[in-house]
A and B are shown apart, each in its own frame.
Chain A
Amino acid sequence: MSADGLEGREGRGGPNRPDEPDEPNRRDELDRPHGPDRPDEPNQPDGPDRPDGPNQPDGPNQPDEPNQPDGPDRPDGPNRPDEPNRPDGPDGPDRPDEPDELDRPDGPDGLDGLDGLDGLDGPDGLDAHLVVQRGDFRLDVALTAAPGDVVALLGPNGAGKTTALRALAGLTPLTGGHLRLDGVALERTAPESRPVGVVFQDYLLFPHLTALDNIAFGPRCQGAGKAAARARAAEWLERMGLAEYAGTKPRRLSGGQAQRVALARALATRPRLLLLDEPLAALDARTRLDVRAQLRRHLAEFEAVAVLVTHDPLDAMVLADRLVVVEDGRVVQEGTPRDIARHPRTDYIAHLVGLNLYRGRAEGHVVRLDAERTDALITTTEDLTGPVFVAFPPSAVTLHRDRPTGSSARNLWRCEVAGLEVHGDQIRADLTGELPLTADLTTVAAAELGLHTGTPVWATVKAAQTHAYPA
């Protein structure tokens, strides 16, 4: 497959920056201050390709995709459509959408579809199948994204997210798969020749250069004259609201300012792929909110593909249009933030989004769980048959000291408190027993129940608060 890619590249006469001819247009685009650029997009040379979206491997799987081109829907304000579905949001009202999303194929199917596309001269955007073998660790991740998409690689530490990012940037060589950006194969291209910008986790601003010269570094390397590069850098500082810090050395910048300079430095090379490694991890909680909001705005303005890596689900859900969850070097789930928050497919994701998740076999409204230690049943409102996941939030669990009588809850399990943890004014109880689960209750309720480790309790969950979906 890489041979194909190479031919394709040579056929184009070698230059690794397919966007070169478009440069002037894109530049205008870039320099314009704010988001409303989006509707103009069809004027761009790559515009007409967009409606073909369904050819893209992930096209049909992405219910949200059709909305993408009309940029105004893109998240700009607090009214992001999927916001209410964040883990803490109520689960119920969204139910009606569900049938549309049921036929999402699993990750592996997506992979197959991808490889089937190899012969084609790919569409605009990112089309990557990253395989990196290092010792016992194997990264095998397929990633596709259209221009304008923001994709988050989400996963626990050591899952291979950063390796994937480094492979995209060319800092870690691929041992297999392919990498195509706007139809040009990049897997053999040196990192300095890839149209890729990177914002590193700790920014790696050059400490001996001022903020301005840090940003001008990229344009200089691309052949711009000193004055032109600095002028462009000054524009970027202006856009980032940092004009007065032009002459400041990185160590004198605050975390949030440094992050913006790093973003500007990466964007100043006009990349077709922007990579962000844990963009908010180095910030304290206070700055994080501001910076996240700003970053979201800048990403929304960015007209090419952005891929960010994070272990923070909230960052991922706020910043990205689509999440790719990576565990142990493989994609375990991908989809829109709302989809993933509501239909987690692994314990890791369920834990991230704060749901109790079980796998079992449904017969009508009753799900018999797979777990070997339990033969618990969960009653749900959905009428399904076959392998399913069942999820419910910890807040849906009610605890009782005595076996409740006359409770309308159909799900009743005998459990024991394994641990208690304070979350704000809530207490999260870890329960073992017939069904291992976590329950949230108020501190008052916890005191009334006299909970401590080892306390036997009865846990109930209303069927209406569970949520079953095919596995």
Chain B
Amino acid sequence: MSEPSGGDPGHDTLTRGARRVRKSGQPGRVRPLRGSVPVPLLLPALLGLAFLVLPLVALLVRTPWSSLPEQLTSAAVWEALRLSLLCATLATAVSLVIGVPLAWLLARVEFPGRGLVRALVTLPLVLPPVVGGVALLMALGRNGVVGQWLDDWFGVTLPFTTAGVVIAEAFVAMPFLVISVEGTLRAADPRYEEAATTLGASRFTAFRRVTLPLIAPGVAAGAVLAWARALGEFGATITFAGNFPGRTQTMPLAVYLALQSDPAAAISLSLVLLAVSVAVLAGLRDRWMTAS
């Protein structure tokens, strides 16, 4: 649109190029879009920016900075933060162990119904987390489809335990990892696996020693996304695991609870989560986004 159309009218649609050249006189200097953003686009764009930034600014404005150290050093906050970090990390680990092979399957193996499987994997991305929590209860709850057997045979109860938090978070976060890794795998040249095979590597060895190192950046980016998603998980967690301080009360739950009784505490806790999110974003950008 800009430089080439004016600079080389012969290659552009002739009439428009010629008209523009005639108007400006100097073909090389036609820059029609620069500096003249149409108002009907500019205003909503600025509004959109404000809409996204304003709440964060408000959070900072209303932060009780003087009492912040006191708020953040309270045992309850640390407990919730520790639990959040622990559960999000475990959920990410679970997602890696079962999500990366799933992504490989989706990307590399032709099987009937692959499209359906991919849709099922993606579903938790768009499913309301509360629904996910209810579904998990139906599956793994004490009277759930699988849960009753776990209870009867192994005496294992998952709902309303820390393990339950991990499961709820993994359920919601794993699709992020799978989708990210699958995309990386599809972009990676499968012929490296073939080359490994001709060198005597089994398909698993080829995956472990060649494919996995090649897609490591994608796996890491997916893991960070999943971890961030798990850290903020609220709906599925509170539905499936409840809200017991020290056991299942993660940061988002603590924030929500604090808001009812002590808004200042809620703000402080939110600030911590915001800081973690910003750190994740910075880490992502520096390590993977620019590298790839």
A-side interface residues toward B, CB under 8 Å?
A: 169-171, 190-194, 196-198, 200, 204, 206-208, 217-218, 221-222, 265-266, 269
Whole-angstrom distance between the alpha carbons of A194 and B198 in the complex?
8
Cβ contact within 8 Å between A221 and B214: no
A208 touches B213 (CB 8 A): yes
Q: Are A204 and B200 in contact (CB under 8 A)?
A: no
CA A157 to CA B214, docked complex, whole Å: 30
A192-B202, A200-B191, A204-B191 in contact; A217/B213 too (CB < 8 A)? no
Whether the pair A192, B197 counts as a contact (CB closer than 8 A) is: yes
Which residues of chain A come closer than 8 Å to B198, judged between CB atoms? 169-171, 191-192, 194, 196-198, 266
Closest-CB distance, B178 to chain A (whole angstroms): 23
Closest to B200 in A: A221
Given A169-B198, A171-B197, check contact A221 B191 (CB 8 Å).
no
Q: Find out whether the CB atom of A218 lies under 8 angstroms from the CB atom of B191.
A: no
- Say whether B205 contacts A221, CB under 8 Å: yes
CA distance A391 to B159 in the complex (A): 86
Q: Does B210 contact A (CB under 8 A)?
A: yes
Given contacts A208-B213, A217-B209, contact A222 B192 (CB under 8 A): no
CB distance from A20 to the nearest CB of B (A): 13
Q: Which residue of B lies closest to A205 (CB)?
A: B195
Q: List the B residue with the shortest CB-CB distance to A221.
A: B200
Most chain B beta-carbon neighbours within 10 Å: one of A169, A170, A191: A191
Tell whether, in the assembled complex, residue B200 and residue A192 are in contact, meaning their CB atoms are under 8 Å apart. Answer: yes
Indicate if the CB atoms of A198 and B200 lie closer than 8 Å: no
Chain A residue at minimum C-beta to C-beta distance from B209: A217
B214 contacts A171, CB within 8 Å?
no
- Report the nearest B residue to A200, measured CB to CB: B195
Contact of B210 among A190, A196, A206, A218 (CB under 8 A): A206
B199 touches A265 (CB 8 A): yes
Point out the residues of chain A lying under 8 angstroms from B203, CB to CB: 192
B contact residues, total (Cβ < 8 Å): 18
For chain B residues 10-33, which have a beta carbon within 8 Å of chain A?
Answer: none
Given A217-B209, A221-B205, the answer on whether A204 and B199 have CB atoms closer than 8 Å is no
Q: Which residues of A contact B196 (CB under 8 A)?
A: 206, 217, 221
- Whether A217 lies near B199 (C-beta < 8 A) is yes
Complexed CA–CA distance, A204 and B211 (Å): 12
A171-B194 in contact (CB<8A): yes
| Residue with the greatest number of chain A CB neighbours at <10 A, chosen from B191, B194, B195 | B195
Q: For residue A166, which residue of chain B has the nearest CB?
A: B194
Determine whether the beta carbon of A204 is less than 8 Å from that of B192: yes
Q: Contact check: which of B192, B197, B200 meets A206 at CB < 8 Å?
A: B192
Give 28 A-B contacts (CB < 8 Å), ordered by A residue. Answer: A169-B198, A171-B194, A171-B197, A191-B194, A191-B198, A192-B199, A192-B200, A192-B201, A192-B202, A196-B198, A197-B198, A198-B195, A198-B198, A200-B191, A204-B189, A204-B194, A206-B214, A207-B214, A208-B214, A218-B199, A218-B200, A221-B196, A221-B199, A221-B200, A221-B201, A265-B199, A266-B199, A269-B200
B201 cross-chain contacts in A, Cβ below 8 A: 192, 217, 221
- Determine the distance from Cα of A245 to Cα of B146 in the docked complex, in whole angstroms: 57
**Which chain A residue shows the least CB distance to B216?**
A208
Question: Apart from A197-B199, A206-B214, what are 17 other A-B pairs with CB-CB below 8 Å?
Answer: A170-B197, A191-B194, A191-B197, A191-B198, A192-B199, A192-B200, A192-B203, A196-B198, A204-B189, A204-B192, A204-B194, A204-B195, A206-B213, A208-B213, A217-B196, A221-B200, A269-B199
Instruction: Output the residue of B189, B203, B210, B214 with the most chain A CB within 10 A.
Output: B210
A351 to chain B minimum Cβ distance, whole angstroms, is 31
CB interface residues, B 186-243, toward A, < 8 Å = 189, 191-192, 194-203, 205, 209-210, 213-214
Q: In the assembled complex, which residues on chain A have CB atoms less than 8 Å from the CB atom of B194?
A: 171, 191, 204
B201, closest chain A residue (CB): A221
Q: Which residues of A contact B200 (CB under 8 A)?
A: 192-193, 218, 221-222, 269
Q: Mark B171-196, 1 if CB is under 8 A from A, else 0.
A: 00000000000000000010110111
Give the one of A171, A192, A196 with max B CB within 10 A. A192
Report the minimum CB–CB distance from A167 to chain B (whole Å).
13
Which residues of B lie under 8 Å from residue A196 when comparing CB positions? 198
Instruction: List residues of chain A with CB within 8 A of the CB of B213.
Output: 206, 208
A190 to B200, CA, bound (A): 9
Minimum CB distance partner of B214 in chain A: A208
CB distance from A215 to the nearest CB of B (A): 10
Q: Mark B80-121, 1 if CB is under 8 A from A, else 0.
A: 000000000000000000000000000000000000000000
What separation, in Å, do the CA atoms of A269 and B195 have in the docked complex? 12
- The distance from the CB of A213 to the nearest CB of chain B, in whole angstroms, is 10
Closest Cβ of chain B: how far from A224's Cβ, in Å? Answer: 10
Minimum Cβ distance to chain A for residue B112 (Å): 19
| A192 smallest CB distance to B (angstroms) | 5
Closest to B205 in A: A221
Q: CA A217 – CA B213 in complex, angstroms?
A: 14
Q: Closest CB-CB distance, B137 to chain A, in whole Å? A: 44
Chain B nearest Cβ from A144, distance in angstroms: 22
Closest 8 CB pairs of A and B: A221-B200, A218-B199, A204-B195, A208-B213, A198-B198, A221-B201, A191-B197, A222-B200
Closest approach, in angstroms, between the C-beta of A372 and any C-beta of chain B? 44
CB distance from B151 to the nearest CB of A (A): 44
CB distance from A126 to the nearest CB of B (A): 16
Contact residues in B for A170 (Cβ distance below 8 Å)? 197-198
State the Cβ distance, B215 to closest chain A Cβ, in Å.
Answer: 10
Cβ distance B187 to chain A, nearest Cβ, rounded Å: 14
Give the residues in chain B near A222, CB-CB below 8 Å. 200
CA distance A217 to B205 in the complex (A): 11
CA distance A412 to B240 in the complex (A): 95
Specify which chain A residues have a CB less than 8 angstroms from the CB of B209 in the assembled complex.
217
User: Measured between C-beta atoms, what is the minimum distance from B261 to chain A in Å?
Assistant: 53
Q: Give the residues in chain A near B202, CB-CB below 8 Å.
A: 192, 221
- CA of A157 to CA of B219 in the docked complex: distance in angstroms? 37
**A217: B residues at CB distance < 8 A:** 196, 199, 201, 209
Within the assembled complex, what's the spacing in Å between the Cα atoms of A169 and B197? 9
Q: How far is the CB of B220 from chain A (nearest CB, A)?
A: 14
B197 contact set on A, CB distance < 8 A: 170-171, 190-192
Shortest C-beta distance, B189 to chain A (Å), equals: 8
CB distance from B13 to the nearest CB of A (A): 33
Q: Roughly how many angstroms separate A441 CA and B191 CA in the complex, as a whole number?
A: 46
Which residues of B lie under 8 Å from residue A218 when comparing CB positions? Answer: 199-200
